[in-house]
Every structure is written in C-alpha cells, then in structure tokens.
Amino acid sequence: MAASWLRSGWSLAVFVPALLLAVVGSVAYLQRDLVLAHWHARAILRSDGADESLHWILKHRPLVLPIAAEALHQDDSAACRRAGGLIRTLLADYNDPTDPDAAQLSFVTMTRLRDSLPKLRPAARREALEAAHHVLRVHLERWSPHLPTVLDSAGAVFLSSLEDEDLLVREAALRKLPSLWPAIAVDSSAGPLVREWLREAYLVAAHMMSSVEPGIRLAAGAACCHAPFSEYDAQLAMLLDDDDVAVRKGALIALGNCKRNRLHGARKNLVLHWLADSDADASTAAAKVLRLAGVPAYRVELAALQASTQSQVRAKAAAAAVAASMKAENAFDAGPFLLALSKDESADVRLAVVEAAATTTDEALLARFRVMAGEDADPNVRARCGKVLKK
C-alpha cells in the first residue's frame, strides 16, 4: 500500500505541473495573438505597414473587430474614419446571413457600437452608421434566421442615426434608408417585426421633412418617395412648394424616379410649371410625375406648351388643344383650356386662341370673345374677335 501511495504521489507531482504548464502555455499563446492583433490593428490605423498587417488581420477577424470598434473612441476624425474603414473591411466578407460564427461576431460588434454610440464623436457615429447599414443589408436582402438580433443591434444604430444631432450623420442615414425599403417583402416569421422597424424608420423620416435644414428636408423627402408607406404623401407633396429651390427641384427629381403615385387631386398642379423648365432633368421628371398620377400624355403635352416662357410656344397650345379634342378616344373638351389660354399676357397667344376657336359654339368662349372684342389691349385681337362673332 505504501508503494501504491508513493506511486500516486509521484504521478500527481508530475501531472499537476504538466497541466499547469499546458494551461499557462495556452494562455500565453492566446495573449500572443491578442498582442499581435493590437499591433497589426495599430499599424492599419496608422497606415503603417498596412499591406502586411491586413493579411494577418483578415485571418484573425474575431480578435481585431473589438479593437477596431474601440478605436472609434477617439477625438481625431481621420483616426475614426480609418477605424471605420477597418471595421467595414473586416465585416465585408461576412455576407452569409446563415453563417452562425459570422453573424455572432457581427452582432457583438454592432451591440458594442450601439451601447457606446452616445459617447462617440460625430465622425465615429458616421462610421457606426456605415457598419450598421452593411449588416442590415446582409440580413434583410436574403433569408436570415437572426433578424430580431439584427434589428436590436444594427437596427438600433441605424434608427439612432436618423435622429442624430449631427446633420451629416442624419442626412447620411436618410439617404441610405431607401436601400432598406425592399425588406418590406420579407416573408419569414420575423416579417411583422421587420415591417414594424421599417415603419418606425418611415415615421422618423416623415418628421424630418419639417426640418429647418434644407438638406435634411430633401433627404427625408427622397427617402419617403420610395417608402412602402403613404401616410405622409401630402407633406411630401408640399416639398414641391418649399422655400428653397434646391429642395423643390430635388423633390421633383425624386418623385420622378418613384414607382408609385404620390400626388393626388390638385397637388398635381405643383409640378406644372416645371414642364417648361430649362433643366431637362426637371422637365422630364415633371412629365413622369404627371403620367404616374394618371394624366394622359396629350394633357401633359398641352400643359408643357402652356407653361412655356416663350409666347410662340404657348401660342401652339391653342391649335394642339383643338386637335386633341377632335380625337374621340381623348374625350377632351378644349373649351376650358382655351378659355384660360385666352387670358395670356401675350397678344400672339390670345390671337392664336381666337384663330383656333374661330368656329366654336362654346358659349363661354363666345362670351369671352365678346369681352375681348371690346376691351383687349391689342387692336388685331379686337378685330379678329369681331370677325368671329359676326359669323
């Protein structure tokens, strides 16, 4: 028994130190990789030896991502941009939403950024937004089993960015929002949760259309143009009457690129004067908006002629209106259009109306011609009206 006890004692004496050495060796090895991760991350953040360090970093993403996220806690904007670039580089290959390891690492990073967001400088918050947008697109554009976690981490960062106190962060978030609208079609069990998140983003963007900053109003309007919601279409239409010309034109271009009608009733009149704008993009967008709103092509053409700043172009509208009314498929009464055109400031346009409607039997037009025959400032117009009335 004594011998057995001695043998056990000797075994323990050998085994325990060996075990301790193994544990210490493992810890040392892990610490070695962590030290190397810090060293290579600093090299990237300083742009010093970036090529060699990047090769090592891409093989050790789990170690480097937390370091890159922590590097956003700096006052130097350039350093924050480099840290953000490193985060995006590390997340770039994590584009499979079903990969559990990649998803877990992305969520840990985004949760850290979400929790530290109030402490970050504006430049760092912009980088956090970029990272959040990347993670959201990865999981919203394809089937993902992690949507609740995505919305709680990356989604929270994005929503915070929409209301960020820094104008550049807020505008950047608003301009990225349209790329997330297609997620409304998610049909998994998390679909209602995604739609609720998108609706919250829409409500924030709609509120931003009332911002005192023109750039924010325009970015918010552009985001709402493509939204799968329509409650604030009336407010969107009012951007066409904004005090800032850049906002008015930008809203028009955005509406022209929209796939659904946002203008109803009299709101369509807000784009009429753009039909004759010297900027081809604006005039084309105005025509698209009206067609999208259900206005027939011939009516758009007539409105464009009437809106022209050149009297000789406006004069052509009279004959075009009469020609359009002769086509049965148009079911168009030219009378009201010609009546409005007869009040044009140009005598050439008024004369063109009288010529085009010389054989009219429309009582309203004939009454107008009687007034023009006696009161029009141009003698030629008065004379022509007199001849028409004698027929």
pLDDT value, residue 38: 64
The alpha carbon of residue 285 and the mean position of all alpha carbons in its chain are separated, in whole angstroms, by 17
Distances in Å between the Cα of 389 and the Cα atoms of 88, 251, 335 are: 77, 47, 16
What is the number of other CB atoms lying within 10 angstroms of the CB of residue 219? 27
Q: CA-to-CA distance for 207 and 238, rounded, in angstroms?
A: 13
3-state class of 97 per DSSP? coil
Q: What is the mean pLDDT of residues 251-273?
A: 93
Q: Give 313's contacts (C-beta < 8 A, 6+ positions apart).
A: 276, 305
Q: What angle do CA 31, 35, 36 make, to 5 degrees?
A: 115
pTM: 0.82
Q: How many helices (H) and strands (E) does the chain have?
A: 19, 0
pLDDT value, residue 44: 64
**Angle between the N-to-C axes of helices 61-70 and 100-116, in degrees from 0 to 180, rounded to the nearest 10:** 10
For 331: left if phi > 0, alpha if psi spans -120 to 50, otherwise beta; the answer is: left
Q: What is the mean pLDDT of residues 210-227?
A: 97
Q: How does pLDDT run across 277-301, given as a tens digit for each residue?
A: 999 999 999 999 999 999 999 999 9
pLDDT value, residue 183: 94
Which residue's structure tokens are 């990649």?
Answer: 102
Q: How does pLDDT run across 176-204, given as a tens digit for each residue?
A: 999 999 999 887 788 899 999 999 999 99
pLDDT value, residue 6: 45
- What percent of the chain lies above the pLDDT cut of 70? 87
pLDDT value, residue 2: 46
Q: CA-to-CA distance for 254 and 282, rounded, in angstroms?
A: 10
Contact 251, 285 (CB under 8 A): no
Q: What is the mean pLDDT of residues 223-228?
A: 96
pLDDT value, residue 242: 96
Alpha-carbon dihedral 34, 38, 41, 46, rounded to 10 degrees:
-170
SS percent in the chain: helix, strand, coil, step 5? 75, 0, 25
Q: How does pLDDT run across 74-103, given as a tens digit for each residue?
A: 888 888 898 898 888 888 888 889 988 888
Distances in Å between the Cα of 98 and the Cα atoms of 102, 140, 142, 146 are: 8, 12, 9, 8
pLDDT value, residue 323: 94
pLDDT higher at 170 or 82: 170
pLDDT value, residue 364: 94
pLDDT value, residue 4: 54
| Mean of pLDDT over the chain | 88
At 336, list the tokens: 């009201």
Q: What angle do CA 365, 371, 372 make, to 5 degrees?
A: 85
What are the backbone dihedrals phi and psi of residue 206, each rounded to the nearest 5 degrees, phi first? -60, -40
pLDDT value, residue 330: 79
pLDDT value, residue 28: 45
Residue type, 233: D
Residue 152 pLDDT more than 90?
Answer: yes
